Amino acid sequence: MTIISELSVAPEKPIAEPRKSRKNNPEKTRENILQEAIVEFVQQGLSGARVDAIAERIHTSKRMIYYYFGSKEQLYVEVLEKLYGDIRSTENRLHLAELAPVEAIRRLVEFTFDHHDRNVDFVRIVCIENIHNAEYVKRSDAIKAMNNTILDSLGEILRRGAAEGIFRTGLDPLDVHLLISSFCFYRVSNRHTFSEIFQIDLPDESIKQRHREMICESVLRYLQA
C-alpha cells in the first residue's frame, strides 16, 4: 500500500520558526500535538487521518505541526514511538530485578494486562500498524531499541528462576514475551467481536479479574520446571 503524504510537495518558502515568547514551550506543544494525533490516528487510521483535524483540536495551524514533525507520516512514526515508549518506560519502573522470579513474572503479567486494558489506543494503533505491515515501525530504530529492554529484563528473570530450580532451563525470553502479549493483547483488540459472538461482557470487572489471574497462572505453569 502506498501512502501519499499531505506534505508531498515541499513549500516554496522555508517554514519560519515560530516566534518565541515567554509562553512558548516547544516540548509542551509537541506533546499536545502527539496526544491529539493519537486520537486522530485511532479514529481515522493512517490513511484517513487529517493534519487539519489535529490542528483544529489544539487551536494551532497545520503549518505549525509540519514545523515540528515535517509530515503526517513522521508524526505517525513519533506517535508509535511515544506509545511504545510509554509501556517500556513504565516497565522499567516495576523494579523486577528486585523481586523473586515468580513474583517478578506475576507483576509483569499483571502490569501488561492492566496497561493494555487501560490503554485501548495503544492496542488500536498497533493494529493499524499491522495493517500497514509494520512499514513505519521499520523506520524507527528507537522502537526496536526500546523494546529490547523487556527481553533483557525477562531473560534475567528466567535465568534466576532456572538457577533456583523454579523455571525450566532453555526458555527463550522472546517466546515468553510473545505468550504474555498474546494473552493480554487479544482480549482488548478483539473485545467487541469476541463479546458479541460469545455474549460475554469482557470489560466487566469480575470477568476482567478472572482473566487477569488466569493469564498469570497460565504463564507461570508454562515456565515451571
Q: Tell me the pLDDT tens digit for each residue of 134-170.
A: 999 999 999 999 888 999 999 999 999 999 999 999 9
pLDDT score for 225: 83
User: CA 121 to CA 125: how far, in whole Å?
Assistant: 6
Rounded to two decimals, what is the model's pTM?
0.83
A 10 A CB-CB count for 46 gives 20
- The length of the chain is 225
- Give the C-alpha separation, 115 to 120, whole Å: 9
Rounded CA-CA distance 132/127 in Å is 9
What is the Cβ-side half-sphere exposure of residue 104, based on CA atoms within 13 angstroms? 23
| Per-residue pLDDT tens listing for the chain (225 residues) | 444 444 443 444 444 444 443 356 888 889 999 999 999 999 999 999 999 999 998 888 999 999 999 999 999 999 999 999 999 999 889 999 999 999 999 999 999 999 999 999 999 999 999 999 999 999 999 999 988 899 999 999 999 999 999 999 999 999 999 999 999 999 999 999 999 999 999 999 999 999 999 999 999 999 998
Q: Give 204's DSSP letter.
A: -
Residue with cell 506517535: 79
DSSP state letters, 204-218? -HHHHHHHHHHHHHH
User: In DSSP terms, which residues pair with 167 in a beta bridge?
Assistant: 224
